[in-house]
Amino acid sequence: MAYLLHHLLASSTQAHPGKEAVVDGQRRFSYHDLGRAAATCAGVLRAQDLERRDRVAIYLDKSFEEASSIFGISMAGGVFVPVNALLRPHQVDYILKDCGVRFLITSARRYRLLAEVLEHSAVERVLLVDAVNHPVDDRVMAAAFDAQHPMPLPLPCTGDDLAAILYTSGSTGRPKGVMLSHHNLLAGARIVCDYLGIRQSERLLSVLPFSFDYGLNQLISAVQMAATIVLLTFRFGDEIVRAIRDERVTALAGVPTLWAVLKDAAPIFAKHRLTSLRYFTNSGGALPTETLAQLRAAQPQVNVVLMYGFTEAFRSTYLPVNDLDKHPTSIGKAVPETEIFLVDDQGRPCEPGEEGILVHDGPTVALGYWGRPEDTAAIFRPHPFRAPREGTRRVCYSGDRVRMDADGFFYFVGRDDALIKSAGYRISPTEVEEVLMATGLLAQAAVIGLPDATLGERVHAVCVAAHSADRDSVLAHCASQLPAYMVPRDLEFVAELPCSPNGKVDYRQLRATRLRNASSA
């Protein structure tokens, strides 16, 4: 019985050793290859005295090595912490320190990028997946995952043990580490395989990072069903189209920006009927109606499944294919094994048509935030309508305002806080503001999200100059310190920022004013 993450890989490897598991560019790996690489990773970690629940960060480009590391860390009894490859060194350093990472798996190139921050890091051992002649550093060692290594004896882990920490931004402060158990990860894969009908013959195109719960679930779901996952890092939409065509891809998961890139791959996207493709899935933001119509017109044989979720509870709702035409703007109904309900500002259940906060109850609700008991208590709470004797499992308050119609379909209304959701990423305004203020050119900076047809929301900065501030200089500094998706698309200078009676910046007024100006323009 599978109750730990790596049990899924062991089962598929035993049943289908020769089946193609991972396609990574020109490299192709069977389930035997993936199982052996994971075991080698586990053996290397345990030989370096990894202990149960030790955190192991993975800072790699999307690759076979990243995929095998995830299962290898689980096999060793550790906790994997996938780090988005787009993050800058100081952002990676924050994650390493925040959750007390002992081991770091990376490449020689990425190690050189991190060299300066690692000098002051508590990381005990750096494992390089692609270097035999590694830099002279007592902490660094080569770890060739294609070598044979004895399987380590299992540590006494349970399904409730911490398996992964995924970092996600909140509306204020630095990113928080969402703690996921083995049960959380297995339930997420089981549920998605159920309602999407994922099968062994599936060939899933993976373009989303494994540091994103949506992308990670694709990998785990593929392994659970002994399906094939095709890894792709792309710049242009035609690369996606060619990968689907050449690799006979059956499923593609994306966020709104990906679909915009894909439809802009015309004429190749509309010209080539992608006969292998069975379905698209969308999450990470609303898919614009116009974009949805263009996708369906270009590839009418492909089903589109709209989904909604958040890292703290993974997937909450999905819109079945048969309901898409009747409810095209809905986020659907609860996924299997899950209860979704709405509460008003007083904590009372909402009636159909009423707007409230979406609350999620089910086996994918995370364990909480790493090292943040107050934040955990605010989001992960006892079930508001269940007696204590009925169980102590916590539900998750999403912070998203949603309404439900008379037929039980949910509709997203907006965020209840200042969090920005852009290109599928959650962005903390505070984190961007800190970088803006570090230029020394600004007296104040406030960052908000404004509607964008492609991104969902775009990052907009409203600033008060300390002296003669040059817009290009400020944005250039941001680009050097932040990944592209966090850099403000617009930088607006004002004489002063609106404040509430307690002297804090009034973000609601700031955003409302710009929305009014846009609608009247």
CATH number at residue 334: 2.30.38.10
∠ CA 108-111-116, nearest 5°, is 145
Examine the domain organization and report whether 459 and 338 are in the same domain: no
Examine the domain organization and report whether 136 and 31 are in the same domain: yes
Closest CA to 395 of 346, 331, 347: 347
Examine the domain organization and report whether 67 and 20 are in the same domain: yes
Examine the domain organization and report whether 358 and 457 are in the same domain: no
Does the residue 302 lie in any domain?
no
User: CA–CA separation, 456 vs 256, rounded Å?
Assistant: 7
* Bridge partner list, 105: 58, 127
Cis, peptide link before residue 267, omega less than 30° from 0:
yes
**CATH code, domain carrying 445:** 3.30.300.30
**Would you state the pLDDT for residue 260?**
80
**Would you state the pLDDT for residue 60?**
97
Asked if 250 contacts 227 with a C-beta cutoff of 8 angstroms, the reply is no
User: CA–CA separation, 202 vs 102, rounded Å?
Assistant: 36
In eight-state DSSP terms, residue 504 is: S
Examine the domain organization and report whether 451 and 357 are in the same domain: no
Domain total in the chain: 3
Examine the domain organization and report whether 345 and 438 are in the same domain: no
Tokens encoding 511: 């955003």
Examine the domain organization and report whether 424 and 492 are in the same domain: yes
Does the residue 62 lie in any domain?
yes
* Contacts for 35 with CB less than 8 Å, ≥ 6 apart: 9, 10, 13, 17
B/e letters for 106-137, b = 16+ CB within 10 Å, e = fewer, are bbbebbeebeebbeebebebbbbbbbeebeee
Does the residue 289 lie in any domain?
no
**Would you state the pLDDT for residue 151?**
67
Examine the domain organization and report whether 18 and 33 are in the same domain: yes
> In the listed set 383, 415, 447, which residue is the last one of a domain according to the structure?
415
Tens-digit pLDDT string for the chain (521 aa):
679 999 999 999 999 999 999 999 999 999 999 999 999 999 999 989 999 999 999 999 999 999 999 999 999 999 999 999 999 999 999 999 999 999 999 999 999 999 889 988 889 999 999 866 655 577 888 776 666 666 677 788 899 999 999 999 765 668 999 999 999 999 999 999 999 999 999 999 999 999 999 999 999 999 999 999 999 999 888 999 999 999 999 999 998 888 888 877 767 888 888 999 999 999 887 787 888 888 899 999 999 999 999 999 999 999 999 999 999 889 999 999 999 999 998 999 999 999 999 999 999 999 999 999 999 999 999 999 887 666 667 999 998 989 999 999 999 887 777 778 888 888 888 889 889 988 888 888 889 999 888 888 999 999 988 877 788 889 999 999 999 999 999 999 998 888 766 667 788 888 888 888 877 66
Does the residue 497 lie in any domain?
yes
> In the listed set 415, 432, 455, which residue is the last one of a domain according to the structure?
415
User: CA–CA separation, 105 vs 392, rounded Å?
Assistant: 37
Asked if 125 contacts 139 with a C-beta cutoff of 8 angstroms, the reply is yes
* Bridge partner list, 425: 422
DSSP 217-252: HHHHHHHHTT-EEEE---SSHHHHHHHHHHTT--EE
Q: Is 197 exposed, middle or buried (0-12, 13-18, 19+ CB in 10 A)?
A: exposed
Examine the domain organization and report whether 488 and 508 are in the same domain: yes
To the question of pTM greater than 0.85 for the whole model, the response is yes
Examine the domain organization and report whether 405 and 430 are in the same domain: no
Domain around 122: 5-194+215-227
Examine the domain organization and report whether 437 and 392 are in the same domain: no
Does the residue 283 lie in any domain?
no
Does the residue 271 lie in any domain?
no
Closest CA to 319 of 338, 308, 306, 310: 306
Does the residue 77 lie in any domain?
yes
**Would you state the pLDDT for residue 174?**
83
Q: Is 363 exposed, middle or buried (0-12, 13-18, 19+ CB in 10 A)?
A: middle
> In the listed set 415, 432, 457, which residue is the last one of a domain according to the structure?
415
Q: Which amino acid is at 446?
A: A
Tokens encoding 165: 């920490």
State the residue for tokens 């017109």.
297
State the residue for tokens 């989303």.
208
Examine the domain organization and report whether 87 and 222 are in the same domain: yes
User: CA–CA separation, 410 vs 406, rounded Å?
Assistant: 10
Does the residue 117 lie in any domain?
yes
User: CA–CA separation, 409 vs 99, rounded Å?
Assistant: 38
